[in-house]
Every structure is written in structure tokens, then in C-alpha cells.
Structure 1
Amino acid sequence: MVTSMKRWWRHLTTGSLARRRAFPGLVMQQIESAIRECESRHTGEIRFAVDTALSFAELSAGMSPRECAIEAFSKLRVWDTAHNNGVLIYVLLADRDVEIVADRGVGNSRVPPSEWEACCHAMEAHFRRSHFRDGAVAGIRAVADVLGRYPPEPRVADAGNELPDAPALL
């Protein structure tokens, strides 16, 4: 129950000011540049999304960060790529939690879950020290490395930039 109350408190007190401190405009531009640069190395599509905190209804329903990431994957249409090669990096700021959701072209049937977990843990370690820019860029590069090691099968030509490179604010 204590953990639950702490989580409620974090979500109710984490607002847009905290998000702007963690991810100011310059950091958002650097994230966008990192995505653009990393996508030039593989055919995958990376989408980065920051969710400040869960709503009262989401907290009441007991939504996990993973469930929120899957919902964001759908809402942001990360699945809507020609080769099913979209990957969402989802940050839930109030929980300092990172989730990665990958479409079936690069999903867990081909990539060991430990690969995605390592990307998340690296970002979360930076975030715990309030190094949000470093964590975001390191995570994007780690995801790009995974996509480079596990290209979509069969190998396909790059369909171009199908998803926005700019981070999404949820």
C-alpha cells in the first residue's frame, strides 16, 4: 500500500513543469537529431514519446507503464510502417520508467527481450541521476544498435522516413 501511495503522489505532483525541466526544447531537438542520425544506419523507424504522468483514471485502473506504452504505440501509429519495423521508446516521467514496444518486423520473436531490457535499463540509470538528455540519446543509440543487429527479414529496401523524428509529448 505504501508503494501505491508513493506512486499516486508522484503522478499527482509531476506536471508539465517537471517535463519541461527534464526535456526542455533544446533536449527535444537533440533527441530528434539523434533519431534522424540513427535511422540512417538501419531500415527501422524509431519513435520517442514522453508521458509526464498518468491520469487519475489510469492510476485508478492500476495501469502499468507497459500497458501505457502499448497504448501509446497504437495512438502514435508506430505500427503503421510499410515493413512493420517501428519501435517506440516510451518514457513515463513520474515513474522514471522506460518501455520499448517493437512492431512484429523487429519484435520479440526475433530480438531477445534482454536486448530491449538492456536499452531501457541504460536509459533509466541516466534518468535516476536526472541526466535526461544523455539517457534519451544513449537509449536511441542502443535501440539503433539492436535494429542494426536484427534487421527486418527478409531484408527490405528502406521505405524512407515514415514516422516523425520529433519526440511526442503525451
Structure 2
Amino acid sequence: MRRLHRWLANLLGSPFALRCRFPRAVLEELTAAIAAGERDHLGEVRLVLEPRLPPFAVLTGLDARTRAQALFARLGVWDTEHNTGVLIYVLLAERRIEIVADRAIARAVAQQAWDAIAARMGEAFAAHRWREGCLDGIAAVHALLARHFPAAGHDNPDELPDRPVLL
């Protein structure tokens, strides 16, 4: 039953929902939030927004977590000097949020902390507060990174693009 529900959500999920929920002005605001927060820590944050998964892929077992991990690799989020990349993945059709952290961060921050951030984002999304949910999630990720990997006294190049990825 769960697989059927997921399949239908992705089959009926509209690619246009992405642009409706995240217009250009919101994307610029999210980009600025990512860039500003990265000045305080050695981490790199990527936000990926995807309207839906291919329905056939859902039938063959693809889920949001697996997709997020694949995008983490494909986008090179793992390829930072300090192994401090974080991917925030939003699958609109299923209202799923997955946060994938690189090795150094995963050793310092428990998965429960990432799950709590994703849950808060999901609550905002359920109330149709897409912009606020993303901004709050980005801020929470930045706060964790600043606590565990502060930039003070370190060279802090911007290693990954700050603009959200729209799929």
C-alpha cells in the first residue's frame, strides 16, 4: 500500500509545483542564506529541490534517502577540503526531506539532529510555508556546522555553488 501511495504521489506530482513554490525571488533568498551562513563555518551546504521521482524508479525501490545519497555523490558534496559538505534534499511529491552529511560532520553530529531539522522543515511544508521551511532548515544546518566546524582563524573558501539545484 505504501509503495502504491508513493507511486501515485510521484506520478501525479507536477514539475510546475517547483516553480510555484520556489519562484526566482525565493531562490535568490535561499542562495543568499546559504552563502551568508557558510561564512561562519567550514562546511558547504547544497540544497536540492526535486518535484518528483520517475514513477518507474519508485516501483523499482528508489526512495528519497537513496536519491539524496546519489545526488550527494553526483554533485560532489563529499569533495570538500574538510569533508564537511551537507546536502539538504527536498522531494516535493512525497514531502520528504533528507539531510546527508559528509564524513567529518557525521562523526560530530548525530543523525537525530539532522532528522529533527528535516522534521521541522516538513512541518512548515505541511502548512504550505515552503520558503520559511527552507530558510529555517538552512539556518539550523548552519548553526550545527558553526558549532562543530567554526571558520574562525581558518582559510574558508567557497568550495561548492550556493544556488539551490532544481531538478
Q: CA RMSD in A?
A: 1.5
Q: 1:110 aligns with which of 102, 108, 111?
A: 108
* TM-score, with structure 2 as normaliser: 0.93
Partner of 2:117: 119
Cα pair 1:82 1:159 within 8 Å, conserved: no
Structure 2 unmatched runs, 5+: none
Partner of 1:42: 41
Per-residue CA deviations over 1:42-72 (Å, capped at 9, x if unaligned) read 1110000011111133212121211110011
* TM-score, with structure 1 as normaliser: 0.92
State the number of aligned residues. Answer: 166
Task: Give the C-alpha shift of residue 139 in structure 1.
Answer: 0.1
Partner of 2:147: 149
Partner of 2:131: 133
136-145 or 113-122: bigger deviation: 113-122
C-alpha distance in structure 2 between counterparts of 1:91 and 1:34, whole Å: 17
Partner AA of 1:9 in structure 2:
L
C-alpha distance in structure 1 between counterparts of 2:79 and 2:56, whole Å: 28
Alignment of 1:82-93 (within 5 A): 82-93=81-92
C-alpha distance in structure 2 between counterparts of 1:103 and 1:124, whole Å: 22
Whether 1:10 aligns to 2:9 is: yes
Structure 1 unmatched runs, 5+: none
Task: Give the C-alpha shift of residue 127 in structure 1.
Answer: 0.5
Q: Percent identity?
A: 40
Task: Give the C-alpha shift of residue 156 in structure 1.
Answer: 7.8
